[in-house]
Every structure is written in C-alpha cells, then in structure tokens.
Amino acid sequence: MNRQIKNTLKKCILIMIVLISCTSISSTEEIFKNPKKIKITVIREWKPFSYLDSEGNPNGILIDFWKAWGKANNVEVEFKDPTCWAQSIELIKNGEEKIHLGLFYKDDRSEYMDFGSTIIDLMTGIYVQEDVDAFNINDIKDLGIGVTEKNYAKDYLEKNYPNIKLLVYKDLKKVMEAVDRGEVKAVCVDYHNNIRNISFYYPELNDFELLQTIYTQPLRVGVKKGEKELLTFINDGIKNMSGGEIEGVKSKWEYITIYLTKNNVKNYTLIISTIVIIFLLINTLFLKHRIAQGVKRLLENEESYKKLVKLCPDGIFVHQKGRVVFVNEATIKIIGGDDPKNIIGKSVTEFVKDDYKKNVLDMLNTVEKLNITTPTFEEKIVKSNGELLDVEMSMNVIKYKGKRAVLTIIRDISQRKEREQEKQNVLMEKLKYERLKTEFFSNISHELRTPLNILLSSIQLIDRVSDDNEYQQNEYYKKYSPIMKQNCYRLLRLINNLIDMTKIDAGFLKMNFKNYNIVQVVEDITMSVGEYIKSKDLNIIFDTETEEKIITCDADKMERVILNLLSNAIKFTDEGGSIFVNIYDKNESILISVKDTGIGIPKEEQKTIFERFRQVHPLLNREKEGSGIGLSLVKSIVEEHKGNIYLNSEYGRGSEFIIEIPANAKIDYETILSDEISSNEGKVEKINIEFSDIYS
Ligand code: ADP
C-alpha cells in the first residue's frame, strides 16, 4: 500500500513538474517566429503624427518611430495604403490589419485590440481664432467647436461639457472648410506638448491660438486582439531601440519624448522596481507636502498682490487687444464714476485725449511687439465726465488669465502740474518785475546823470575862466566850490555804478578789449594817485616782477578796478599806514595785489564782501561812506576778463585783494601803448570820481 501510495505520489509529482515546466515554458519561451517584414497602415491626415507630405510620402512622428523601430530590430517596415483615421480602426476591427501605428486606449477598442507600450504623451486642445475674446472653454460654448467624428475628444466633450455647441465633421479638412465658411471659430486638435508651433503642422491654424488643453493621453501601439506574440515582439522591439535611435526621432520632431514601457519584468527588476516605487512614494509624499506649502504661499502671495493692487493709489488697468479687461479701484477714482463696468470692455483710446491717441496707440503697438516696458510718459486722459486730466503712465506686457495683455499704470499728476504752473506764473511775474525794475534804474540813472553833468561842467567852466573873475575872487566861492565839485563827483560815481550794475544785470556791460601792457596800466594809475595818497599821510609802494606783460583787457575798466581797490584801501587805513600795489607774473596769468595795513575785514564778512550793497563797517565812521556796490562791480569786471578775485584779510591788521587775469593776448587785437591809454585830464576826472567818497 505504502509503495502504491509512494508510486502514485511520485507519478503525481512528476506530472506536476511536467505541467509546471510546460506552463513556465509556454509563458516564457518566445513561440512567435520573428517576421522579417511588417506592414503598417499610414493615416493620411493626422499631423504631426501620420500624414502624407507634399510629395505623397508618409511622414510624421509615428512614421519616424516605426522606421527607427524597424532599424533597431532589423525588420523591414512597409508603410502602405494611406487611409483616413476611421478606416485605420476599421481595418483592425475587421481583422484586415494586425498593427495600428498608434492610438489611445478606449474601452470599446479593447474589445478588438490589445494595447502595447506608450510611444508618446499626446494632448488634445481647443484652438480659437485670435479675435475670439475668451479665457476658457465655457466662454465659447455658443460659438461652435469643430471636431472630427472619430476623435476621442468628441465623446469626451459631449460627456464633460454637455452645454457646448459641438459641430462634428468627417475629418480635419472638413473642419477647416467649416472655419472658412464661418461656421465654427474654434477647433479641437491633438497636439504634442513639446511641439510648440502647432500651425507648422496645420498651416490652416495660423490665426488660431490655444485656448485650453482638455486632456492628455498616452499614445500606444495597437495590435489586433489575441495577437499576443506579435505584441510581445513589438514591445520587445521597443526595448531594443537604443537611446540614439530614439534621440534621432526626437531631434527630428524637435521636442517629442518617447516613453518606453518594459514588459519582461525579471525578479530582480521587480525588487528594484519595488524599491524605486517606495522611494517614489516617499518622494511623492514629500513633494505633496512641499506643493501644499507652495500652494499656500502662492495663495498668500496672490492675496497680498490683490491687496496691493486694491490699495495702490495709482490706477492699474489691464487690456487685451486694445480693450480694458481689468481695473483697480484707483483707476475708477481717477477716471471718475463708481462702476468698473463703465470702463471694462471699452477701448483704451476712449480715455485718451484726441491728439494724444496716436501716440498712445503707437506706444501700445511697440510695447506689444517688442515686449518692453515703456519709460514713464505724460498724457492727458479724458475722465468719464469729459474733463481732461494730466497723468503719468507706463506700460508693459504681462500674462493675464493665461493670455498676453498690456498692463498700464496711471498716476494723477494734475496737482503737481497745477503747482508747476503756479511756480511758472510766479517766476514770469518776478522776471517781469525785475525787467521793469532794471528799466527803471537805467532810465532814472541816465536822467540823473544829465543834470549832474551840466552842474559839474558849469562849476568847471567857472573854475577855468581867468583869475580876475569875480567868482574866483569870492571867498565863499573858494570855500564851497571844491565841496560842490566833490559832491557832484560822488553823485556821478554812484550813478555810474548804478548804470553799470543794471547793465551787468541785463548782460550788456560792454567791454572794450584790446591788448595792453597791463603792468604799465596798473603802474600809471597807481602813480597818478601817489601824491594824493601821500597827502593823506599814507605810504604807497608799487612793485612788479615784470616790466611788460601784454594781455587782452579793457584798460579803462581795469583802471576803475584799481582805483576802486585803492579808494577802499585809503578809506579803511589810518594815517601812517601803508598801501602796497604788487604785480606778480605767473606766466599763464598775471596777479595784481592791492594790500593795506588798515582795519581789515572780519572772517565772517569775507565771504559776502563781494555781494552787492554789503558794507562791513557801515556805521563805523560816517566819513567812510559808500554804496556797497564797488566790490561787486570789481568782481563782475574781473569775471568779464575770465579772471578771479581773492581776499586775504585779518581783522585789525589789514586786507589784501588779489586779482588774477589770464595772460593771453589775442593776436587779432590792436596793441595800445601806455601813453595812448587815456589823457591825463581823463585820468584826473576818473580819479576825482572814483575817490569822491573819501572826504578830505
Ligand atoms: P563801498 O562803495 O561801500 O566801499 P565796496 O563794495 O567797495 O563798497 O566795499 C564794501 C565794503 O567792504 C566796504 O563798505 C567796507 O566795509 C569793506 N571793505 C572794502 N575794502 C576794504 C578794505 N581795504 N579794508 C577794510 N574794509 C574794506
């Protein structure tokens, strides 16, 4: 019994081993005999996946894929019988063909077809004509979307968007004809994520843009149901394709990616895969967490942006194709009115003053074309009540709800403009007043000088008549005539200075430039007053580093400058003091110094001493009178010579005024010798005038 049982058991085990072996052999051994040639039916019109090019040859991503597949597996792939999409399915269904070059998985298809590895991921999207103003599929529900009858999208759209108007056509050609007739403005097309310019494959879609991707599906190899060996052969063949071959297809179609699926999973691959899956799971969890955080941050950011846009005092508005699609509250305040609907949908130029419209449109076009941000520019906009408003604006291109748009920022600058205008008015008033004042000064000064000159020449005339003249004899006349003359000179100096001052203000101080030996000019005028200075019980010392220095200057004005400085030195130096006039040759320039041992000028006054009407010691001594114009005139004259004037002074110890004049003699100017400069009589008159402030 035991032996029988043992034998039976042995037999059973043997049968089981044979059965298991057979099963394992049948499941692992390749029974399918490799064909040397396979046939693939080409779909005539399914760009960019399978189509006939202009020469009638099969072309497309799938065609290239199959060519690469054939090469990698040493199998000749024959492309045959171009047909339409629907027919390609029918052929498999009827059993006339065994391989479909690539299609989506669908439940009904799985009844007559097995699906192999994924070739690429394929998108299906809705493309709309450029002039259609829409953000998503619902915005075009009444517009008419053209779709081909066998496109999976038809069922998908019917199921998920029951309210949209779908127009079904036989193929894409018919859809495009419907577009031409104006029947539809949107079409449903399959495209690949990485093929950027869809209109390259569908030139008909040149004026269309992608509105929304409706789904993404893997495009897979399809094999007639039951042809397991063929399917394995194809899938293994895909695995055999080297990276280079796949790259070849990829690079030709620019951006396609081929995802390969491995079918023969060995045990160790299973372990590795399990580890990878676990790793991916952890990674996914981690990623999920990070994405959640990111989304949170994004939402917070979005909230902040919304707040910012809401609170921003500047008007922010967004427009697409010239029409306003968004405005913030500030824009409504600036433009006027209380409802954004009054602004949204309107043309941007509606808010721009007529003569600025072209400028704004040009600017808009440039911004859109070149994708640049404009610098801030000023415009006048028209408010909702028709009033004009000065604004500052700038524009740049942004993405708004997934579409290109222009963002314009406007700032109300009407108050600033008003202030500027007010300032301008005040300035104009001031200038007008200044001009009037200058004119008045000029006129009155000339009016004063005429009678004064008559007075002075009358006194001079009496002086010149013979000694026996009864006036000359008269002791009153003798006493008062010099006083009369001196006061005439004082008045004359004051008037001359006033006239020069107004001329400087008006920019009309005329300079009579010629070439002079400046050393001689300064020495002569100093010597002319030498005796007078000595009579004041003051020492005058003249010294020079050079005897001749020809420079271009106005000798008459330079004499006045020296006399003015000497007159101040005399006025502010006590008896017994000294006055030094020195000339230093600096080659490029000449320095003229008038120095005294007088009362000096306090430090704090030195900066303002050359300003008009400034007097340091005005009430110190009524005998040292003056108008405070002298030094300012001296400075102006020196500056007319492109020179500078400096002051060194110490209060209580004396002052030194240094004039620096550039030593350049113009070759085209006449050179005047010293004895031609001015007559003695003229010099005396000048001295009388310039020294008239000094009381004897
Ligand atoms: P004024 O006609 O009053 O002399 P200036 O412009 O020539 O006007 O001089 C302005 C003031 O500068 C004088 O009133 C005087 O107070 C001061 N000042 C000018 N030169 C000297 C000097 N050499 N020493 C001291 N003070 C001087």
- Helices 630-640 and 475-506: crossing angle, nearest 10°? 50
Q: How many A from CA of 632 to the centre of ligand 1? A: 10
* Tokens read off for 627: 């108008």
Q: How many A from CA of 523 to the centre of ligand 1? A: 22
Q: How many A from CA of 628 to the centre of ligand 1? A: 7
**Does ligand 1 have an atom closer than 6 angstroms to the CB of 630?**
yes
Closest atom, ligand 1, to C-alpha of 599: 25
Cα 172 from Cα 50, distance rounded (Å): 13
Q: Comparing 681 with 326, which gets the higher pLDDT?
A: 326
**Does ligand 1 have an atom closer than 6 angstroms to the CB of 636?**
no
- Give DSSP secondary structure letters for 654-685: EEEEEEEEE----TTSPEE-GGGS--HHHHHH
Question: Between the ranges 342-346, 388-392, 467-471, 658-662, where is the mean pLDDT highest?
Answer: 658-662
**Does ligand 1 have an atom closer than 6 angstroms to the CB of 609?**
yes
Spacing of C-alpha 142 from chain mean position: 44
Cα 234 from Cα 244, distance rounded (Å): 19
Ligand 1 probe mutation, 495, 616, 645, 649, most atoms within 8 A of CB: 616
Grade residue 269 by pLDDT with cuts at 50, 70 and 90: low
Q: How many A from CA of 640 to the centre of ligand 1? A: 21
Q: Comparing 266 with 442, which gets the higher pLDDT?
A: 442
Q: How many A from CA of 687 to the centre of ligand 1? A: 17
- Of 332, 356, 334, 354, nearest to 344 (Cα)? 332
Closest atom, ligand 1, to C-alpha of 617: 16
Ligand 1 probe mutation, 497, 581, 615, most atoms within 8 A of CB: 615
Q: How many A from CA of 625 to the centre of ligand 1? A: 9
Ligand 1, atom 14, residue with closest C-alpha: 615
Q: Coil, strand, or helix at residue 507?
A: coil
Ligand 1, atom 23, residue with closest C-alpha: 569
> Kind of pairing, strands 113-129 and 208-224?
antiparallel
Q: Are 368 and 353 in contact (CB under 8 A)?
A: no
**Does ligand 1 have an atom closer than 6 angstroms to the CB of 596?**
yes
**Does ligand 1 have an atom closer than 6 angstroms to the CB of 568?**
yes
**Does ligand 1 have an atom closer than 6 angstroms to the CB of 614?**
yes
Tokens 């099963």 found at: 23
Task: Tell me the percentage of the chain whose pLDDT exceeds 70.
Answer: 85
Give the number of residues written for the chain: 696
* Tokens read off for 284: 């996914």
Closest atom, ligand 1, to C-alpha of 610: 6
> Kind of pairing, strands 37-43 and 76-83?
parallel
- pLDDT (tens digit per residue) in 106-141: 888 889 999 988 787 777 888 888 778 777 888 888
Q: Are 91 and 85 in contact (CB under 8 A)?
A: no
**Does ligand 1 have an atom closer than 6 angstroms to the CB of 494?**
no
**Does ligand 1 have an atom closer than 6 angstroms to the CB of 691?**
no
* Tokens read off for 395: 């524009």
pTM for the model stands at 0.46
Q: Coil, strand, or helix at residue 123?
A: strand
Ligand 1 probe mutation, 568, 619, 690, most atoms within 8 A of CB: 568
Residues paired with residue 318 on neighbouring β-strands, in sequence order: 326, 407
Q: Are 150 and 190 in contact (CB under 8 A)?
A: no
Cα 52 from Cα 42, distance rounded (Å): 8
Q: Which amino acid is at 629?
A: I
Q: Are 99 and 225 in contact (CB under 8 A)?
A: no
* Tokens read off for 505: 């203000």
Grade residue 675 by pLDDT with cuts at 50, 70 and 90: low
Residue 659, judged by CB atoms within 10 A of its CB (0-12, 13-18, 19+), counts as buried
Q: How many CB atoms lie within 10 A of CB 267?
A: 7
Closest atom, ligand 1, to C-alpha of 629: 6
Ligand 1, atom 17, residue with closest C-alpha: 616
Q: How many CA atoms lie within 13 A of 50 on its CB side?
A: 23
Cα 442 from Cα 291, distance rounded (Å): 83
**Does ligand 1 have an atom closer than 6 angstroms to the CB of 239?**
no
- pLDDT (tens digit per residue) in 477-511: 778 888 888 889 888 888 888 888 888 887 778 89
Mean per-residue pLDDT over the chain, rounded: 82
Ligand 1, atom 21, residue with closest C-alpha: 568
Q: How many A from CA of 630 to the centre of ligand 1? A: 8
- Give DSSP secondary structure letters for 388-451: EEEEEEEEEEEEETTEEEEEEEEEE-HHHHHHHHHHHHHHHHHHHHHHHHHHHHHHHHHHHHHH
**Does ligand 1 have an atom closer than 6 angstroms to the CB of 569?**
yes
The DSSP symbol for 201 reads T
Spacing of C-alpha 527 from chain mean position: 67
Ligand 1, atom 19, residue with closest C-alpha: 568
Q: How many A from CA of 608 to the centre of ligand 1? A: 11
Task: Tell me the percentage of the chain whose pLDDT exceeds 90.
Answer: 22
Cα 451 from Cα 446, distance rounded (Å): 9
Q: Which amino acid is at 33?
A: K
Is the pLDDT at 545 greater than 90? The verdict is: yes
Burial 524-541 (b: 16+ CB within 10 A, else e): bbbebbeebbeebebebe
Cα 325 from Cα 306, distance rounded (Å): 16
* Alpha-carbon distances of 65 from 45, 241, 249, 259, 550, rounded to whole Å: 17, 10, 6, 12, 97
Grade residue 659 by pLDDT with cuts at 50, 70 and 90: very high
Q: Comparing 609 with 384, which gets the higher pLDDT?
A: 609
Q: Provide the pLDDT for residue 602.
A: 92
Q: How many A from CA of 79 to the centre of ligand 1? A: 111
Ligand 1 probe mutation, 498, 501, 631, most atoms within 8 A of CB: 631
Q: Which amino acid is at 51?
A: Y
**Does ligand 1 have an atom closer than 6 angstroms to the CB of 125?**
no
Cα 473 from Cα 465, distance rounded (Å): 11
* Tokens read off for 605: 């006054």
Q: Is it true that the peptide bond before 48 is cis, omega within 30 degrees of 0?
A: yes
Q: Comparing 372 with 331, which gets the higher pLDDT?
A: 331
**Does ligand 1 have an atom closer than 6 angstroms to the CB of 572?**
yes
Q: Provide the pLDDT for residue 645.
A: 97
* Tokens read off for 402: 């997934």
Grade residue 30 by pLDDT with cuts at 50, 70 and 90: very low
**Does ligand 1 have an atom closer than 6 angstroms to the CB of 628?**
yes
* Tokens read off for 470: 């009864």
Question: Between the ranges 11-25, 309-323, 456-470, 567-581, where is the mean pLDDT highest?
Answer: 567-581
